Amino acid sequence: MGLGVKATPSTYAAHALAAVAAVLVLVWCVHFRGGLALEAQNKNLIFNVHPVLMLIGYIILGSEAIMIYKVFPKLNHDTAKLTHLILHAIATVLGAFGIYCAFKYHNDSGIANLYSLHSWLGIGTISLYAIQWVFGFVTFFFPGAAPSVRRSALPWHALFGLFVYVLALATAELGFLEKLTFLESGGLDKYGAEAFLVNFTALVVVLFGASVVVAAVTPAHVEEPRGYAPIPVS
């Protein structure tokens, strides 16, 4: 028996929180950190591309792909499936490029790579994300598995997809924590505006991710629970 909750309120909350998170990360990287660049004397500008792409391009776009079936429940199934596939593909590419920017920043700055839990989880998550996409493409899109195989694989595809999504959220939280710790070790005021902004952005991302997960696991339409009838209004 379901909980009697439909996905629509969670999708509204998710979109509002996504907009807030996107604005906050841009304010942080552009206003506080100096801007974005792929080539610059100030190597920090190269790094700034990383959190912007990982949050907006990877997590938020990936979230839209997850919620597409709940945001547009009446959309033609094949159209929704294609949109789901394309959004996840774009998220994968932007996520991979965001990781490249982090490596480029490290290499140009003479900093070691892959020494932190954040970096390990980041590589693992983007790899699992790509594997999930390839599996979905081959099984549900082209060439497409037999109907019985698709029916059996769909729950596992959805479950594993949510696992990878939660892993991406956890990786992002570690990234915010790691970068803020480095900045504070370098003299950033622990109670200053930038520190507050980074912590608040990370909190918004947690709430955003929770809204997406709730939207994903709740139905687009609520059916009347078996054995119960609406309470009559006198």
Q: pLDDT tens-digit profile of 111-133? A: 999 999 999 999 999 999 999 99
**CATH, residue 66:** 1.20.120.1770
Contact 93, 62 (CB under 8 A): no
Is residue 2 included in any domain, yes or no?
Answer: no
Is residue 109 included in any domain, yes or no?
Answer: yes
CA proximity to 168, closest of 48, 84, 61: 61
Q: CA 150, CA 144: separation in Å to the nearest integer?
A: 8
C-alpha pair distances (Å), 145 with each of 71, 156, 158:
26, 15, 16
Is residue 229 included in any domain, yes or no?
Answer: no
Q: Which domain holds residue 158?
A: 7-217
Structural domain count of the chain: 1
- Per-residue model confidence as pLDDT tens digits over 69-97: 999 999 999 999 999 999 999 999 999 99
- Per-residue model confidence as pLDDT tens digits over 20-50: 999 999 999 999 999 999 999 999 999 999 9
